[in-house]
Structure 1
Amino acid sequence: MEKDSAKISMAVIRRLPKYHRYLKDLLDRNITRISSKELSKVIGFTASQIRQDLNNFGGFGQQGYGYNVDALYDEIGKILGLDKTYSTIVIGAGNLGQAIANYTNFEKSGFVPKAMFDMNPKLVGLKIRDIEIHDIDTVEKFIQEHNIDIGIICTPGPQAQSVADRLIKGRIKGIWNFAPIDLTVPDEIVVENVHLSESLFTLSFLLRHNQL
């Protein structure tokens, strides 16, 4: 029986996409069964850690058999919500916004882009991979009329909070934030922050200390 998701640590939750990715790779290599020990060699977690993580969501393995790779891949996909389709919009039609709109793997995973928005009138009406760019002033109405689930913020930092406020006013359910600030949102709005510079600075630290 799956535990209350509120009681599952974020560390476990953030490991789930990695499980999903590696299981897909195993399926692509026609591997249909794997033990926790074998999986630990592939994914880099200990066998004990793998068993503990998966036990949060039910008993997927069988003693003496291991894990059915296809079944485990599907179950983790369901846990991650990947058995559903999400309507998304991108706010900010600059280089990053265009790159996300052009990345078809998101759509294949069920995150379907419905529109882009920008404050530059010269961009309004243009299309990126058949995804039309709209005026930012219409975003609240668009969210409500098209039942948008996720807003992806790709604006400069100073604009991001006001954009988030518009998304919230339009009753967005979740925000994927690429702007270099932490947003202030109501508790019912789910936010995932992706600070690219922090990841790059972490790499810089590791490079520096690897050379000491």
Structure 2
Amino acid sequence: MKTSLIKDLAKYEKPREKVIKNGLFTLTNEELLAILIRTGGKDKSAIDVAREILKDIGDLRNLVDTEIEELTKFKNIGKTKAVTIKAACELGLRITKNAVAETQKIKTPEDIYNVIKPQILGKKKEYLYVISLNTKGKIIDTTLLSTGTTNAALINPVDVYKTALIKRASSIILVHNHPSNDPTPSTEDIKVTEKLAKVSKELGIPLVDHIIACDSSFVSMKSLGILQTYKI
């Protein structure tokens, strides 16, 4: 059976026309991705290509963590299309991050988790973030500091506090994810946290907490008693 091309669809079935007539919310995930892809190939529509990608990665949220090189392995997806897809993913993440950060005052570890969760969902590697806070406990900036292996984030105290000084933070919160979905702190996690806490006292920029985040759970080092309690 020959695959239908978008140009062969009735006008009201084409993704762009559907958006104009009914709005973006009426489109399927495949159709939204097809708009970014724009064109398919000789015997495949952009929707067919989008469907293949989503079927292969297993879950829409995995698109965020799919590298450009991985996307170009799909037929009819070159570097330009792959970059377009990744740029759209990044915009979505930044919009979510900014919407939360602009108004939220950090009061609890759960507040921190809610801020970072959209950025770590489905991640296959460890990502380390430094959240800079002002004197009122509001977020100044969320900085991705390093990307590690599947076993341990690369935490360099110099880089952590260099970021804090550049952002003029009054205090900071460290967050990294565990791709294993087990938020239990490792021995190394605890050692690094204790080391950073000592540096924070010397610099006068308190390390308020170190959160280990997973897709559906998290652990707060402060709640475990590993960090001295600081008032934000």
Does TM-score exceed 0.5, indicating one fold?
no
Q: Report the TM-score, using the length of structure 1 for normalisation.
A: 0.27
Q: Select the structure of larger CA radius of gyration.
A: 2
More strand by share: 1
TM-score by length of 2: 0.25
